[in-house]
Structure 1
C-alpha cells in the first residue's frame, strides 16, 4: 500500500509492438557499443508515493523513512535502502525485466552518477500524494514538488549528454505514476480535512484534476510514454483494518473504502484515455492494480501466501516506518505474507504485480518478460 497511515500498494500494464517507441541508444549507459541490442525504453522515470519511492525520503527531514532494519531484509546485500519493503519495488523489477537497469536510484541521492541519471531515477516520496495537503504533517515531497525535481533532472541531463540526447532520452523514457492512496487515507478517511470540504465524489474529481495537470506538465516537458496506476483496495491495508476497529479474528477489509477506490479507478481510466487523445504523440496506459491485489487477497494459496490481513513486521497490525524496527522482529518467512509491514506489500507481492504489468500493458511493451530473481 502507500505510506504514513496511508497509501499502500501501488502500481502497473502490456504486448503489441509500437515501432515508434523503439530507441537506438542502450539504457544501461549513455554511450555503448552499437553491437548491444537496446531496450524498449532508454530510461525509466518514476513519480508518486511509497509504492515507488526507492529512497528519496532518506534525504529529507521526515520521520517517515524505511532506511533501517528490518526493511531490506531480502534486498540484494540484505541492506535497508529506504524502500518500504523487504526487497525491491515494482520500478526496480520492471526496469530489470525491460533491460533498462537492475535498480532504480532515488533522484535525491547525492552520490547519483551521470550514468545512472541517463537511464532514469525515482522522484517519488513515501507518504506523498497528488493533494499538497497530504504532505503537510509528514513533511515529505508532494508530487507537485517532484515535478520541480524533474526540471532539475532535465538541466543536469542536458549538461551530462547535451540537449539533443537528453531530449531523446526523455521522449523515449517510460514514465510511471503511482499515487492517490495517501490522499484518501490521510486527508479523507483518517483525518477530517478534505471531507469537510468535499464529498467523496468531489474529492475524487479534485485529485483527478491535480493528476491531469501533472501529466500535462510532464508531456509539455517532453515525456511521451506513461503508465498511470490506479489505487489498490486500500480498505484491505492491515493498518486500515486495525484503525477501523476491524481487528476481529477474521480482520475483514473496509468495503466502503474499497468501493470508493473502485469508483476513483473507473474515473481515472476515462481520464487517462481522454488525456492520450488530447496529447498528440503520447501513449498513456491506465494500470488496474486493484484487481490483481484483490486476487492475491481472495486467493492467497494461488500465490503461496498464508497471511493477507497482517504485515510480516512485528504483530502486523500497525508497524510501519519507524514502528517497524529491530524491536518489532519480522516473521520468519516473508514470502508467505502479502504485506511486509502494516501498509506495504513485500517483494513477492510486488513480483506478482510486475508480472501482471508485463502481461497486461501490451500497448507499451513488446514481449512479456519474467522479473529477474534477486541474487
Structure 2
C-alpha cells in the first residue's frame, strides 16, 4: 500500500503540472522572440569582428565564445529558462541551426532604437526581419498566440547621444521623448504582428556601469546624472506602455521588466556579500584589458564568479544571475507562469 500511495502522489503532482502548463501554454512550449542590443544578443554579432566571439567571452557558459557579451549567460537565457525552453536561435545562425521551434533572437549587440554607428540592425530593422519571416509563413498565428517577445534596448542610444553632445545634456528631454515614442511605436508594431505577450526591459542602472564611474578607473562612485536620465526614460516608458495597454484594449499583455531596480538590489546584495567573502567591489569589471568598452582578446577574467560586471558595460554571468533573481517575482505575476 505504501508503494501505491507514493505512486498516486507522484501521479497527482504530474497531473497538476500538466494542468498548469496547459493553462499557460495551451499549444505546447511557448516561442520566444528577442529584440534589442547586447544585453539580449546571443550570437548575431559578426563572427569575424572583435568582441564576444573571442575569448574570454563565454568562459563560464558554455565554455567557449558564442557571441554573448558576457563570460556566460545574458538576460535572454534567463527568460528562456523561465519559460521552460532553450534560448532561441540567433537570427544570423538560423540557416545553419535549422531549429527555430523555440523562436528566434533578432537582437544585435551595439544596436539601438535609432540607427546606430555601432550596428546595422536597429530595433525597426530587427522587426522587419521578423515580419519577413511571418510573410514567409515560418510561424503560424497559432505559434504567435503562444509567443512572448522580449525587448531590451536604448542604452546605446544614450551613449551615442552623449558622445555627439560631448557630455552635454542640452536637448536631452526632447531626445528622450522622441526615443520613447519610437520605442512605443515599435512595441505596438510587434503586437500588431500577432505576438500576445511583450516583455520590455527598462534601462539599467546606467550611471553605475563601470564605463560611467567617477572618477575613471576608481570604480567607487556612480554617475548619478546618468542614473537620473535613465529613471526619466523609464518613467516615460512606463506611461507609454500603460497607454499601449489602453489603446490595444488589453488584447496583448505588455510587461515592464524593471532592470533598473533589479540591478540596484543586486549590486546592494553583492556589496553585502563582499564584506565577508572573496567578492570584490561590484563596480570593478572582471576583464583585465578593455578596448572600446568591451573585453579585448588579450583580456583575462580570472574570477568571473566573484565579479558583478564582466567589462565596462555588461554584467558577468554571476551578475545576471543576481539581477534575474530580483526579476522572477514580477514575471511570475505579470506573465502568470
Match of 2:331 in 1: 361
Counterpart of 1:145? Answer: 125
Alpha-carbon distance between aligned partners in 2 of 1:272 and 1:20, rounded to the nearest angstrom: 28
1:214 aligns with 2:214: no
- Between the aligned partners of 2:119 and 2:219, the Cα distance in structure 1 is 35
Residue in 1 that maps onto 2:239: 270
Query: How far apart, CA to CA, are the structure 1 residues paired with 2:51 and 2:135?
Result: 28
* Map 1:72-83 → 2, pairs under 5 A: 72-76=58-62, 78-83=63-68
Tell me by how many angstroms 1:246 deviates: 1.1
Conservation of the 8 A alpha-carbon contact between 1:50 and 1:83: yes
**Structure-1 residue corresponding to 2:202:** 230
* Aligned-pair CA distance for 1:54: 0.6
Go from structure 1 to structure 2 and tell me whether the alpha carbon gap of 1:249 and 1:214 turns closer, same or farther (over 3 Å shift).
closer
What is aligned with 1:24? 26
Matching residue of 2:215: 246
| Range with greater deviation from structure 2 (343-352 or 43-52) | 343-352
Larger-Rg structure: 2
1:44 aligns with 2:32: yes
Specify every segment of 5 or more residues in structure 2 that has no aligned partner in the other structure, as ranges. Answer: 1-18
Match of 2:164 in 1: 191
Equivalent in the alignment of 2:270:
300
Q: Give CA-to-partner distance per residue, 1:187-212, whole Å, 9 cap, x none.
A: 2x22228979x622111100011111
**Could you report, residue by residue, the CA deviation over 1:220-270 in whole angstroms, capped at 9, with x for unpaired residues?**
1111201111101111111222xxx61264631111111111111111111
Q: CA distance change for structure 1 residues 320 and 226 in 2, over 3 Å: closer, same or farther?
A: same
CA RMSD of aligned residues (A): 2.7
In 1: Cα distance, 2:59 partner to 2:82 partner? 22
Change (3 A) 1:257 1:336: same
State the SS of the aligned residue for 1:129.
coil
Whichever structure has more helix as a proportion of its residues is: 2
Equivalent pair of 1:338/1:346 in contact (CA under 8 Å): yes
1:108 aligns with 2:85: no
Cα 1:267–1:246 shift into 2, 3 Å:
same
Q: Could you state the TM-score of these two structures normalised by the residue count of structure 2?
A: 0.85
CA distance in 1, matches of 2:187, 2:96: 25
Alignment partner of 1:125 is 2:108 = yes
* Structure 1 runs not aligned, ≥5 long: 1-16, 28-41, 368-375
Query: Equivalent residue for 1:314?
Result: 288
CA contact (8 A) 1:66 1:83 kept: yes
> Residues of 1 paired with 2:331 and 2:181: CA distance?
24
